[in-house]
A and B are shown apart, each in its own frame.
Chain A
Amino acid sequence: EVQLVESGGDLVEPGGSLRLSCAASGFTFTNAWMSWVRQAPGKGLEWVGRIESKADGGTVDYAAPVKGRFTISRDDSKTTVYLQMNSLKTEDTAVYHCTTGIRSGYYTAWGQGTLVTVSS
C-alpha cells in the first residue's frame, strides 16, 4: 500500500523558514517523481513543485509564486522528499500535500498533508 506521510508544519512568522518532510513507502521511491501541492483554507488546489527521479534527470520545477523561495530535494536512501520554504509570506498559509503518480503527471497517491500557518 502506498503511503505518504508529511511532517514539519507549524506556525511561523512572515519572513521565516520551515522544512517539510514527506516519508514514502509502498512503492519504488527511486523511480518516482514527487510533487508538493498546497491548499489554502477554503480554497482550491495549487501545485507547488516537483522533483524528478534521479534516473530521469532529477530536474526540479516550481510554480511561479514560490520560485526562488522554496526548494525541493529528495533522499532516496530515506525514501523521503523535502520542501524547504524560505522567506515565507502570509499567502503561503496552507495545508501542504506530498503527492505522486510515480512517473506520470497525474497524482494517484496523496498524503494527508501538514498545515503551515504564516502569521505574526
Chain B
Amino acid sequence: DIQMTQSPSSLSASVGDRVTITCRASQGIANYLAWYQQKPGKVPNLLIYAASTLRSGVPSRFSGSGSGTDFTLTISSLQPEDVATYYCQKYDSAPTFGPGTKVDLK
C-alpha cells in the first residue's frame, strides 16, 4: 500500500508569512493528489486537486505543486482565517490521506 507523509506536523507563522507544507507518497502517484483544509469543528474543504488545480472559489494565495512522489501546498501570505489543519490525499487508486499539518498563528 502507498503511504502518505506530511511535514511538518505543525507550524506557527505570522500573518503575511509564506507557508509551505510538504506531502510525500511512498510510491509515484502521478498528479492524483488533493489538498483539504479543515477548520476546528468543521468538515474538510477541498482546496486543490490534480496536484496544482485550484478549486473554484478558493483564494489565490493557495497553490499546489509537484508530481510523482513529492508535493507542496503553499500559502503565499498567511491570513488569520487560514488557521486550520491541512491534509493531502492521494486518489490514484485506494484513497489515502496524509496525517495532517496543523497551522496556527505565532
Contacts and interface: CB of A to CB of B under 8 A. Distances in A.
Interface in A95-110: 97, 101, 104-108, 110
Interface in A26-64: 35, 37, 44-47, 50, 61, 63-64
A106 B36 CA distance: 10
B94 to A, nearest CB: 6
B44 A44 contact: no
A119 interface: no
B1 A97 contact: no
Interface string B85-105: 101010110111111100000
Interface of B: 1, 32, 34, 36, 38, 43-46, 49, 55, 85, 87, 89, 91-92, 94-100
Interface residues of A, number: 21
Interface of A: 35, 37, 44-47, 50, 61, 63-64, 97, 101, 104-108, 110-113
